[in-house]
Amino acid sequence: MGFLQEFKIVPQIFQLETAKEFLENFQIGKNDLVFTSKFIYDKYFVDQMEGAHVLFSEDYLSGEPSDETVEAIHEDIKEVVYTRVFGIGGGTILDLSKLIALKQYMPIWDLFEGSIPREKDKQLILVPTTCGTGSEVTKISILEFKKRNTKMGMADDVLFPEYAVLVPELMSTLPYSVFATSSIDALIHATESYTSPLANAFTKMYSKEAIRIILSGYKSLAKKEIEYTSLFKDFLLASIYGGIAFGNAGCAAVHAMSYPIGANYHVPHGEANYSVFTQVYKTYQSISYGGSLKELYEYLASIFGCEELEAFAYMDDLLENIIHKRPLHEYGLTPEDVETFTDTVMTKQGRLMKNNYVELSSDVVKAIYTELL
């Protein structure tokens, strides 16, 4: 029997307008564990979650989530009894919430390596407060493993939440920089999943709609026709569309190559992805132009009103209006790092690299890093 390709949307998805509606629907209290930021809690939820055990991300995080973060959280909650986990925040909070909803998640390396059972015994409700991660509908959690100097992703059906809840009001104070990097991340999710070998008609439909919404919003921003805050509701949808697409078809080299940058130089995930995004696609184009890549270029050209092969040049110009792309040496990357990062990508990121539009050799990966120095 051949490989049966599947398409799943597991969580029930709710669209609500306000924090008040969210509280009325979910009645958070005793036996609930809430993981959020102190800022979000104080602004929207203070004194409204009586009996719940609340964790603040500020007590555990100073950058990207890591194995040390999980160990610290576990130490604080190992005696707490809870049957529901609410993750309310950005991708970091959502990814960590997936882990603490499991029956056993320590030792954390053993969980990611698959040497301890992956079982879930709590209900998981995820509420994004940025417009990029898509984590609220995926079965993926990403961690930096500090001693191993890399990021790793774990993909398993037990990580799917039961509910994904969109509440635009919770984004009302999102800083522009976070809006920009998170929404570019959503754009990259949609783009990489479109050209993945695992893409199908369903994932491509979600990818294209996410791309359309985000690029349309960016074009209006670049022309200074609107404020970025007016895009929150639409971009939350675009983010979840991108999450559905990459949750089924996967991300690829852009994410694989960004992980060492984020892990070593503490660059926000969306910004690290952005730093390599268009160069990866220009490289694909130079190796083999056809199939889903040609479809993508045609679709982008229709949005930009440009010639087909100019699509990623126009993409570069538009994204530069949203956030400046820095050369990699400004983060601290050196020619010696290029060798190390290339080795990391080729040996540790097979889960992602198998989703590339075409196979990329270590020499090609090294050339992309070098071009971006």
pLDDT in tens, 294-324: 999 999 999 999 999 999 999 999 999 999 9
**Predicted pLDDT at 1:** 43
Instruction: Count CB atoms within 10 A of the CB of residue 155.
Output: 13
Q: Is 114 helix (H, G, I), strand (E, B) or coil?
A: coil
Q: Is 125 helix (H, G, I), strand (E, B) or coil?
A: strand
**Predicted pLDDT at 144:** 87
**Predicted pLDDT at 153:** 84
**Predicted pLDDT at 3:** 52
| Separation between Cα atoms, residue 303 and residue 290, nearest integer Å | 19
Specify the pTM: 0.95
Which residues of the chain register pLDDT less than 70?
Answer: 1-5
| Beta sheet of 53-56, edge-to-edge order | 12-15, 163-166, 123-128, 84-89, 32-36, 53-56
Torsion of CA 302, 255, 73, 110, to 10 degrees: 140
Residues 102 and 142: beta-carbon distance below 8 Å? no
User: Among all chains, which residue has been given the structure tokens 């075409």?
Assistant: 358
Report the sign of the C-alpha dihedral through residues 189, 56, 228, 278, in that order: negative
Pairing of strands 150-155, 140-145: antiparallel
| 60-92 per-residue burial string, b: 16 or more CB within 10 A, e: under 16 | bbeebbbbebbeebeeeeeeeebebbbbbbbbb
pLDDT in tens, 215-271: 999 999 999 999 999 999 999 999 999 999 999 999 999 999 999 998 889 898 899
